[in-house]
Amino acid sequence: MSPAFRAMDVEPRTKGVLLEPFVHQVGGHSCVLRFNETTLCKPLVPREHQFYETLPAEMRKFTPQYKGVVSVRFEEDEDRNLCLIAYPLKGDHGTVDSVDNLDCEPKSKLLRWTNKKHHVLETEKSPKDWVRQHRKEEKMKSHKLEEEFEWLKKSEVLYYSVEKKGNVSSQLKHYNPWSMKCHQQQLQRMKENAKHRNQYKFILLENLTSRYEVPCVLDLKMGTRQHGDDASEEKAANQIRKCQQSTSAVIGVRVCGMQVYQAGSGQLMFMNKYHGRKLSVQGFKEALFQFFHNGRYLRRELLGPVLKKLTELKAILERQESYRFYSSSLLVIYDGKEWPEVALDSDAEDLEDLSEESADESAGAYAYKPIGTSSVDVRMIDFAHTTCRLYGEDSVVHEGQDAGYIFGLQSLIDIVTEISEESGE
């Protein structure tokens, strides 16, 4: 266990880093924040932290790189707007932005997550009439959040038209509904506890989307079982029901979230976990087809690399004894940005000119093919309920491989293979 994890206090007089929303989060309920261009952070769960510090070496290429632990707390700017700032913990050497100081947002550039300071952070006593008014306002805010959450549940698949002549990646920041929901809920939880606690531990992880200009992200919930060994009877029953009523029970995998940029139609498509739970096996296959489709044709050049990575991951997990990856997800990521096909002898200047033309509708005469066709990533994430015999405090110790997860991987391999064969590859 690292010294940073054991320590609780923040080092005095250290430079903090502003945490921003991570706009490419498409699934999960734990809030993910952007630390800088190449690093994300999320609330620390001891079991997940233990996994990253002890995971087998051969699994590292299929998980985000673990970068350490920071302390996160509320602060306010000169306009009394609240923001979240990350600081190093005692026992860490250097400042927090030594993790990767490229593109760190300075503390002075504060993101407006709320309009004004929330008085729950104040310690002095207030008049009774102010208290009543404050409680009324907080109740209204909570009710508004619930309404927005219900709207998102009903809006299970969303399409947005984007301006293809503009910067698509910057427009993406304004559309992702699941990211917005997760951030609102995380802030609400922290604000409610602010009187008693204003310091949280977050883990730092590699930002898997940073290499892509317009990331297309598929979040798949893997395995035939989702509840951990420590789940209550009610929680276990709820998770069992979700599996039985979805493709998890049939093929060991279900859609948990999806974000796709369809360059051909100029649309962003988002699918959330509520729609994913309703899909039949055929619907699941159609969702995968849609994920690899750019609005005009199937991105067939991505299927081979995906199959290769899935097959390699399956072989690795078949060698892991005692691990159970309950409620873990698998991410598939590729770049939705496409470029015109050019002659092999084209020089750099020609490529630059064509890349500019590709953003314009007048470039429709070109035969589009992406640069770096094999640039597709497959990674395991979310290990809050993972268990292994190495975790000595666990009351239940499993033997052998995680058959449910491996079954889901094989189903995924079979379905992607079917899509590839049916598309004529």
Max CA distance (Å), the chain = 77
- Supply φ then ψ for residue 381, to 5 degrees: -140, 170
Reported as a pLDDT band with limits 50, 70 and 90, residue 268 is confident
Reported as a pLDDT band with limits 50, 70 and 90, residue 304 is very high
Q: What is the pLDDT of residue 101?
A: 42
Condensed to tens digits (0 to 9), the pLDDT of residues 291-302 reads 999 988 999 999
Tell me the angle at which helices 303-317 and 403-422 cross, rounded to the nearest 10 degrees. 160
Pairing of strands 39-43, 66-76: unpaired
List, by residue range, all CATH 3.30.470.160 domains of the chain.
211-338+374-424
The whole-model pTM stands at: 0.76
Q: Contact 90/11 with Cβ under 8 angstroms?
A: yes
Paired strand residues for 382: none
Sign of CA dihedral 41, 47, 50, 56: negative
Q: What is the pLDDT of residue 146?
A: 55
Q: Contact 386/322 with Cβ under 8 angstroms?
A: no
Q: Contact 71/89 with Cβ under 8 angstroms?
A: yes
Structure tokens at 106: 């300075």
Condensed to tens digits (0 to 9), the pLDDT of residues 109-123 reads 333 333 333 332 233
Condensed to tens digits (0 to 9), the pLDDT of residues 320-333 reads 999 999 999 999 99
Q: Contact 71/87 with Cβ under 8 angstroms?
A: yes
Distance from the first to the final alpha carbon of the chain: 48
Pairing of strands 253-262, 33-36: unpaired
Is the CATH number 3.40.50.280 carried by domain 211-338+374-424? no
Q: Which of 38, 65, 39, 37 is CA-nearest to residue 52?
A: 65
Q: What is the pLDDT of residue 96?
A: 55
Condensed to tens digits (0 to 9), the pLDDT of residues 87-111 reads 998 665 545 545 554 344 434 333 3
- The Cα–Cα gap between 106 and 361 comes to 37
Q: What is the mean pLDDT of residues 345-350?
A: 48
Contacts by 134-143, CB closer than 8 A, 24 or more apart: 141/188, 142/188
Pairing of strands 376-381, 385-387: unpaired
- What residues contact residue 219 under an 8 Å CB cut-off, 6+ apart? 26, 27, 28, 255, 256, 257, 258, 329, 330, 331
Return the higher-pLDDT residue of 366 and 238.
238
Q: What is the pLDDT of residue 406?
A: 98
Q: Which residue has the tokens 């602010």?
A: 194
Paired strand residues for 298: 293
Structure tokens at 393: 């405090």
Among 55-64, 167-176, 271-280, 353-362, name the one with the lowest average pLDDT. Answer: 353-362
Q: Which of 190, 257, 202, 274 is CA-nearest to residue 24?
A: 257
Among 13-22, 153-162, 368-377, name the one with the lowest average pLDDT. Answer: 368-377
